[in-house]
Structure formats: structure tokens, C-alpha cells
Amino acid sequence: MLSYRRYSSDGVLLPMRLDITISTSGRIMASTSSRVSAPQLPRPTVLVDAAQREAAASRPGSRADTAFLLAKEFDGQWRPCWAVNLIKAGEVKPTGAVAFVDAVTGKVITQQG
């Protein structure tokens, strides 16, 4: 799988525009693309350490693992967010739990249904 990604000048991963799936024999199996304008984002001010602390505190019994900045749409508004992978107590690897922390306010963003 080849995925094209682009980043803002602040290091925020912007919405993905292109996915290409290539078989093990080198043939293109599928591709998708969409026209997504780069959202206007406020400048991130929250550091990764602070985002990881907030994320871990939002889910008792877990600790923060890796984190990265991305543009995420919540309530129809694009925000720079830290996506923090969480690890449950007693486990070694992340289990897919991710907490999103607004990179401007430092508040954990509640997932939408």
C-alpha cells in the first residue's frame, strides 16, 4: 500500500488525498483519490509531552505511547490534534485505543458517534 501524505509548515498531517494498493507482483490493484482542500488551521501550541499526559489521564489505567499531529474534523471544524496511542496497564503494545488532544487548547476531544 502506498499512501500519499502531506504536512503543513507546522508539521500537521493534512487530509489524505491518494491511496494506491499494489499487489505483491507489482500490479496496481486499486486506487482512490479525492480533491481535499488544505484546511485553514490555527497554529499548534501544545507540546507532545503535555498531549500525552492529557490523553493518558483521560483513560484511567492506560499510558501514552506514540503521538503524531494531524488535522482532524470535529463538529464540522478542522483542528490540529495530537493522536496519542494508548496502552492498557499490563500490556506492552497499543491495542488500537487512540485519544485525540486539541493541539491548541490541550483538551481531549470526545469522539463523535
Q: Give the tens place of pLDDT for each residue, 39-71.
A: 899 999 999 999 999 999 998 888 999 999 999
Residue 88: partners with Cβ closer than 8 Å, 6 or more residues away: 61, 62, 95, 97
Task: Report the C-alpha gap between 111 and 32 in whole angstroms.
Answer: 26
How many CB atoms lie under 10 A from the CB of residue 59? 15
How much of the chain, in percent, has pLDDT values that exceed 90?
42
Residue 63: strand pairing partners: 87
Residue type, 27: R
Q: Give the tens place of pLDDT for each residue, 5-51.
A: 778 888 898 887 777 888 889 888 888 877 677 889 999 999 999 99
Please give the model's pTM, rounded to 2 decimal places.
Answer: 0.76
Write the burial class of residue 5 (CB in 10 Å: 0-12 exposed, 13-18 middle, 19+ buried): exposed
